[in-house]
Amino acid sequence: MNSRQLMAAAMRREPTDRIPTMPQICHDVAVRLYGDGRGGDWIEGMRRCVEEPEYIYEVVIRLAREIGCDGLRLFVKPAPMRVRREQDALIVFDPESGERSGRIDLHGGGEFVPDRPAPAIETLAEARERLETMVAQFTDEKMALLAAARARVADLFVASAPGGITMNTYTALRGREQAMMDFYERPDFVHAVMDLQAEAIIRRAEKLLATGIDALYIGDPAASASLISPRHFERFCLPAYRKFCAHFRHRILIYIHICGNSRPILEMMADTGAHVVEPLDPLGGVEVADARRRIGHRVALMGGVNTLTLANGSPEEVRQEAIRKCREGGPHGYILAAGDMVPPQTPLANLRALVEVATLGLWRAA
């Protein structure tokens, strides 16, 4: 099996010769190592990613090849933005008016943070309009760029994300505080908007299928686990995930990412219909062994290595922790990965130590 086949088999919980690895690398990790590729520092690297989004694919693929992992994530790139560096900040300007419109979050993944967020929606009609804009953002040009990047790593497993199905998008539409209040004040409205969100993200995912990717990455950050109750997750989020997974499950592999304290909802994550549950975040109190016992007979598992160990530990500490996770999750139906997104300051030696545990089978020999 090549890496692509190995990852697919593990996600289907089929026997494999070894445990595969997909560390969960974002482009901010790569630009910390490679800068802008022209001699500039990592902030210049982030600037190039904003001005020339294709560079994101270049550095992520370069890092994946350098560490020798089996899978990587290639996301749909945003449109280029006009930015100016001010000391250690990147300020975004409107290309027509020339006025400042926001900044780039250099320490949180490189996302655009607008100075004036869009107003909160109040009606279903407004929700439909905003979601239609989201669907339209997945242009044919962006799909072609993703397909070309995917073709560069034909032997590796590639996942991509259609967007947030539940809390990520809902809080963007309503604002975080109001979104939480809506669970009590407007539950029917929440249900209706979540259903519209699922339909919109299904349409975006349909466009992704034409790019040749191997898996759809869905999910939300800790808001779905740590900031709302299991009862609210079951009532408002689970139906949307089920709708999405029912649409795609027999056409492509799906893995669901909910970081933070997902222990109370592990069974519900398996109930979504996804093939894989991740990232099994130890900082949220999630243990690979516990997840294996509770849902490992139903879904594959991915993740579990503490991100603080990756960022601050020694290569040997990373190696020993990765060995423990492989023993807890393996030998089949487990993919070695970080317990959340790999921190941008993670040393290259630590990434290599993580990957080698899987590719060299060190967890068996130790």
pLDDT for 220 equals 79
* Averaged pLDDT in 10-residue chunks for the chain of 366 residues: 96 96 94 95 95 96 97 94 94 92 90 92 97 96 96 97 92 91 95 97 98 94 70 94 96 94 94 97 95 97 97 97 96 96 96 96 79
Give the Cα separation of 352 and 348 in Å (integer). Answer: 6
CA nearest neighbour of 136 among 207, 218, 81, 82? 207
Give the Cα separation of 281 and 323 in Å (integer). Answer: 16
| pTM recorded for the entire structure | 0.94
pLDDT for 219 equals 87
pLDDT for 225 equals 57
Give the Cα separation of 26 and 118 in Å (integer). Answer: 26
CA nearest neighbour of 283 among 265, 315, 260? 260
pLDDT for 270 equals 97
CA nearest neighbour of 74 among 85, 83, 84, 63? 63
At residue 228's C-alpha, the angle toward residues 121 and 162, to 5°, is 60
Pairing of strands 89-93, 100-104: antiparallel
Give the Cα separation of 264 and 353 in Å (integer). Answer: 31
Pairing of strands 157-160, 89-93: unpaired
What distance, in Å, lies between the first and last C-alpha atoms of the chain?
Answer: 24
From residue 258, give the alpha-carbon distance in Å to each of 79, 131, 349: 27, 22, 27
pLDDT for 48 equals 96
Give the Cα separation of 212 and 190 in Å (integer). Answer: 34
pLDDT for 176 equals 85
pLDDT for 188 equals 97
Rg (CA), the chain: 20
CA nearest neighbour of 261 among 234, 283, 290? 283
Burial letters for 19-43: b for 16+ Cβ neighbours within 10 Å, e otherwise?
bbbbbbbbbbbbbbbbbbeeebebb
Domains, the chain, ordered by start: 3-25+71-76+119-365 (3.20.20.210)
